[in-house]
Amino acid sequence: MIDEIRKDAAERMKKSIEVLRQNLSKIRTGRAHTSLVDHIQVPYYGSDVPLTQVASVAVTDARTLTITPWEKNMVAPIEKALMASDLGVTPNTAGTTIRIILPPLTEERRRDLVKVVRHEGENAKVAVRAIRRDANDQFKQLEKEKLISEDQVRKAQDDIQKVTDDHIAQVDRVLEEKEQELMQI
């Protein structure tokens, strides 16, 4: 029972770190990569679908993304979605090919993005700690129901704390990598 709670908590903490990585991949670092447009939704026959389902996205060079829609009539909706997105770029269209040229980041913008990264990291840490709290509550509930002893609760809480510390350290490593990536010129 204790092992199940510990495994569940560790799995949930791992998912929190994966979500953090996904959120950080959307933050632009000055280099083009296809995950920058993963979150953009495009209207397609009455419903919004991810951009990657209606077009191919490729990296042409370090600062250019090329988007090629699979249908000619999708060029205008894709352009509109890109303009409305949080990327802050203007797409250039040549026929059925849409190019997004990413401007270089200024020092001030890099510092702002580092603040955003740290905020995302803090959210991930809060999520990990909430999972720890849930696990500890479950241990106390088991003790209350007299299914485990007080000593077992203390040992289980110590184990969960170690798992939590490991995951917090992983969050810190992910943040450090992203900050270094952002501050590179």
CA distance 109 to 5: 43
Cα distances from 132 to residues 2, 13, 50, 81, 170, in angstroms, run 13, 9, 34, 40, 15
CA distance 139 to 143: 6
Mean pLDDT of 24-43: 79
pLDDT tens per residue, range 148-163? 888 898 999 999 999 9
pLDDT tens per residue, range 7-19? 999 999 999 999 9
pLDDT tens per residue, range 108-145? 878 888 888 899 999 999 999 999 999 999 989 988 88
Residue 62: per-residue pLDDT:
80
pLDDT tens per residue, range 74-118? 898 999 888 888 777 788 888 889 998 887 777 887 888 888 889
Residue 28: per-residue pLDDT:
67
- With beta carbons less than 8 A apart as the criterion, state whether 179 and 25 touch: no
Mean pLDDT of 26-34: 73
User: Which residues are CB-contacts of 66 (< 8 A; sequence separation ≥ 6)?
Assistant: 57, 58, 59, 60, 97, 98, 99, 100
- With beta carbons less than 8 A apart as the criterion, state whether 128 and 171 touch: yes
E-strand stretches of the chain: 41-44, 47-50, 55-61, 64-69, 92-94, 97-101
pTM for this prediction: 0.70
Domains recognised in the chain with CATH numbers: 2-26+106-183 (1.10.132.20), 34-101 (3.30.1360.40)
CA distance 73 to 161: 55
Tell me: pLDDT of 30 over 70.
Answer: no
Residue 116: per-residue pLDDT:
85
Tell me: pLDDT of 170 over 90.
Answer: yes
Tell me: pLDDT of 185 over 80.
Answer: no
CA distance 91 to 158: 53
pLDDT category at 63 given cuts 50, 70, 90 is confident
CA distance 160 to 154: 10
pLDDT category at 29 given cuts 50, 70, 90 is low
